[in-house]
Amino acid sequence: MVGPVRPEFVLFGSSIVQLSFGDEGWGAILANLYARKADIILRGYSGWNSRRALEVLDKVFPKDADVQPSLVIVYFGGNDSVRPNPSGLGTHVPLQEYKENMRKIAIHLKSLSKKTRLIFLSSPPINEEQIRSTLSKQLGDLGRTNESCRIYSEACLEVCGEMNVEAIDLWSALQKRSDWLNVCFKDGIHLSSEGSKIVAKEILKVLREADWEPSLYWKSMETEFSEDSPYDPTGADAKTPTNVSNWIFNDSFQWD
């Protein structure tokens, strides 16, 4: 373990999570904004549904761990929503079981500590035509529709409402862009940089507005080793030290 100890934010989910650190993904955006403030930990598993998440829940989030996460962001649902395979194989999980699985995940995570906060992400929309042109050769008919994603998205939001868990309606958030079908995906399912920006903005909005103590919003959190120092880079006059500990470099997007 390295120090100083920082708050831990864990991203737990399927491929939308696993891929979030690449190609200007939403996980990478959070890691950039929270540099020197919190450690963003990736626990993403492509192809997984809520059943598999339950199988490893105690291993990923052991209740007896010395340090518990300050925040867990959870996403499962897209793989659960696919049509049932006649063979019984595949990722489909019936709707009522999916809701119960998400409820069990929330109960377990809430039990980790009084300071562990949760944000659940609902299933985002998909571009069915793009899926057929990019993924069908490798994976065949995925049996996933935008309508099924809506149904599972609403189910996730329903569970979160019942359990007083912060939730983000990604199915609606992405579709607020008039050109969402053309810009939000790399292959019809997985998010492009534009799609990830929407996810990151929605997460930051929750973190900014949540009545949590302490606040987990990036602008409200302490920056590690941020004190002024004579070893700071000098400014334009080549004489005055300039503290750059809170600068966000190489980012043209303005984050709230």
For the annotated catalytic residues, the residue numbers are 14, 187, 190
251: Cα separation from own chain's centroid: 20
Q: What are phi and psi of 57, to 5 degrees?
A: -55, -45
Long-range contacts of 104-110 (CB under 8 A, 24+ apart): 104/54, 104/57, 105/50, 105/53, 105/54, 105/57, 105/74, 105/76, 106/74, 106/159, 106/160, 106/163, 106/165, 107/163, 108/57, 108/58, 108/61, 109/61, 109/72, 109/74, 110/163, 110/165
Residue with tokens 């334009």: 236
Contact 218, 207 (CB under 8 A): yes
HSE (CB half, 13 Å, CA atoms) of 198?
A: 22
